[in-house]
Amino acid sequence: MHYTISGQGPIVILIHGLFGDLDNLKALGKELETAFTVVRVDVPNHGASPRISQMNYLTLADDMTKLITDLCGQYGNQKVTLVGHSMGGKIAMATALQHPDIVNKLVVADIAPVSYHSRHDNVFAALESMPLEKINDRRQALTHMQNAGIDDGTAQFLLKSLTRTSNGFEWKLNLQGLKNSYPDIIAWPNFDSAYQGPCLFIRGGDSDYVTAAHRDAIMSQFPQVTAKTIAGTGHWLHAQKASIFNRIVKNFILE
């Protein structure tokens, strides 16, 4: 996986969500790099990481484990802390459940260890229908997204993955690979044992991604969990109330 490193100290790896890239948690990285070695990754099929036809949480956890092993060898650390938002939270949880010996602490932002119903069909349709060869600027791209029924905030987020080339525009995302993998991205595999390390779940008060119905699934797989809710935020809690989110994460890691 493509990644960037900043700061120094114990290793903290930041993992973005679906359709994002390593810049999504950049503000958190800035907050943490005064005390930690911060690694921000591009998940496969996002950003500058390799494009693959299929991805699921077992293989993504294996990829993350290889990265962790390499980083720990370079920096002399034994364990790392994982912080993930949405899909990135699932990758972090899967890694901790498969390889608890290399994960010191776990922070999961607005996602639960459960399977979800499809909720991105309109996003895929909007991205796939973007007339990349015809648009001249981002304003036209934004208009296309709005006309496709995507709200402004989500559209602006998605358009961060639109890049200009010498031949026009293209997506940094591997849309076909993500679409092929989407059933696995919204699913959740079964694991044989629980992660016994310290774990923090942070949810947005206005989000429906983590609800009371998910409590048993969380507690059975992550029994040492602490939960926080940030009022007045939705699924993008790390952007909507960044200072509060960053402080909660940093305080938990420093405990």
Mean pLDDT on 197-211: 96
pLDDT at 167 over 90: no
pLDDT at 133 over 90: no
Taking all residues of the chain, what is their mean pLDDT, rounded to a whole number? 95
Catalytic residues: 86, 235
Mean pLDDT on 153-176: 91
Residue 204's SS3 state is strand
Q: β-strand 162-165 against 168-171: which pairing, if any?
A: antiparallel
Percent of the chain with pLDDT over 70: 100
pLDDT at 248 over 90: yes
pLDDT for 77? 79
pLDDT at 63 over 90: yes
- Look at the alpha carbons of 61, 6, 249, 78 in this order and tell me if their dihedral is positive or negative: positive
Q: β-strand 3-7 against 37-41: which pairing, if any?
A: antiparallel
- Residue length of the chain: 255
| pTM score above 0.85 | yes
The H or E element spanning position 96 is: helix 87-98
**pLDDT by residue (tens digit) across 94-123?**
999 999 999 999 999 999 999 999 999 999
Contacts of 48 (CB under 8 A, 6+ apart): 2, 42, 172
Question: What's CA 182's distance to the chain center, in Å?
Answer: 14
**CA–CA dist 242, 240 (Å, integer):** 6
Instruction: Name the packing angle between helices 87-98 and 57-75 (round to 10°).
Output: 70
pLDDT for 28? 97
Give which of 95, 89, 123, 90 is closest to 19, Cα–Cα: 123
**pLDDT by residue (tens digit) across 115-130?**
999 999 999 999 999 9
**pLDDT by residue (tens digit) across 72-90?**
888 877 899 999 999 999 9
**pLDDT classification of 145: cutoffs 50, 70, 90:** very high
Give which of 171, 180, 183, 177 is closest to 52, Cα–Cα: 177
Q: Which of 61-70, 164-173, 209-218 has the lowest mean pLDDT?
A: 164-173
